[in-house]
Every structure is written in structure tokens, then in C-alpha cells.
């Protein structure tokens, strides 16, 4: 299953971009990053049988094991793509939130999109390593 991060705003070069790249390179699954301008731009067409996750502070707060289980279930159900949407400064509009299969929160705080990308990249690495029985994640 393709893990596709679609983010509003440009990350450019710098420590945040390095951190995102560091985690994304570790993921054994196919990964794609698409950057869109803060407003407008063309949203990439979803693959058939895709699932959409929008990062939103009002969403579900899933633990790492729960996120891994969801990804594993979607993969096993034949989903070809999991799209992760990261909004601009004002987040997602009502339509994007309504169309998402899951609203995912990294706590109730609002995070800058650069940090949200790094946190998402790390959680995707962690989730895929859990599914592969890699020792990176420790419960306890």
C-alpha cells in the first residue's frame, strides 16, 4: 500500500525537511510526498480503493499500536493507497474533513505544518515497523 502524504505549504530545505526525509527513507512501504500551495493547487487523484486520513486537532487520538493496526487492516483489505492530508495554517475546510475516512489528531494542540509532517513521518515509520515486528517500537 502506498503511503501518500499530501501537505499544504512548502517545507524547503532545513532541519525539518531533513527530519521528515530521515523517517520517510526508513519506511519499507512505498511512500510519496506531494506539496501543494497554501491555497489552490491540484489535489492528486486518489488511487482506486484509497483511504484518506486528514490530520485535524479535532480528530481521533490514536496510539501508535492503534495506527499500525488501522494501516495493517487497510492494507489487508486491499487498499492501494493511504492518503494523509496536512492542511495549511487554517487547517482543512469542512468538505475535506467530511470526505476523510479518518480524522487523526496528534493531541489537542495545533501543530505547525512542518512539525506535523515530521511527526507523521515518524509515526508512519513506527507503524510500519510494528507491522514488520521490528524492535523500534516498545510498549510499556
- Known binding-site residues equal 55, 87
DSSP-assigned beta bridge partners for residue 54: 85, 103
Find the helix or strand (DSSP H, E) in which 21 lies.
Answer: helix 15-26
Using CB atoms within 10 Å of the CB of residue 78, give its burial: 0 to 12 exposed, 13 to 18 middle, 19+ buried: exposed
Q: What is the DSSP string of 69-123?
A: HHHHHHHHTT--EEEEEE-BTTB--HHHHHH-SEEE-SSSS---HHHHHHHHHHH
Cβ-contact 126, 118 below 8 angstroms: no
Q: Report the binding-site residues for S-adenosyl-L-methionine.
A: 55, 87
Amino acid at each position: 500500500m502506498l503511503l501518500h502524504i499530501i501537505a499544504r505549504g512548502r517545507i524547503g530545505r532545513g532541519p525539518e525537511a531533513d527530519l521528515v526525509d530521515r523517517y520517510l527513507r526508513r519506511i519499507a512501504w512505498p511512500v510519496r510526498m506531494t506539496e501543494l500551495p497554501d491555497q489552490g493547487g491540484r489535489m492528486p487523484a486518489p488511487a482506486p480503493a484509497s483511504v484518506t486520513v486528514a490530520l485535524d486537532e479535532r480528530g481521533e487520538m490514536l496510539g501508535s499500536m492503534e495506527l499500525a493496526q488501522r494501516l495493517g487492516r487497510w492494507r489487508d483489505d486491499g487498499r492501494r493507497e493511504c492518503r494523509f492530508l496536512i492542511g495549511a495554517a487554517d487547517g482543512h475546510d469542512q468538505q475535506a474533513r467530511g470526505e476523510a475516512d479518518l480524522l487523526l489528531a496528534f493531541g489537542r494542540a495545533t501543530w505547525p505544518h512542518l512539525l506535523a509532517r515530521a511527526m507523521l513521518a515518524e509515526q508512519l515509520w513506527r507503524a510500519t515497523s510494528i507491522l514488520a515486528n521490528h524492535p523500534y517500537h516498545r510498549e510499556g
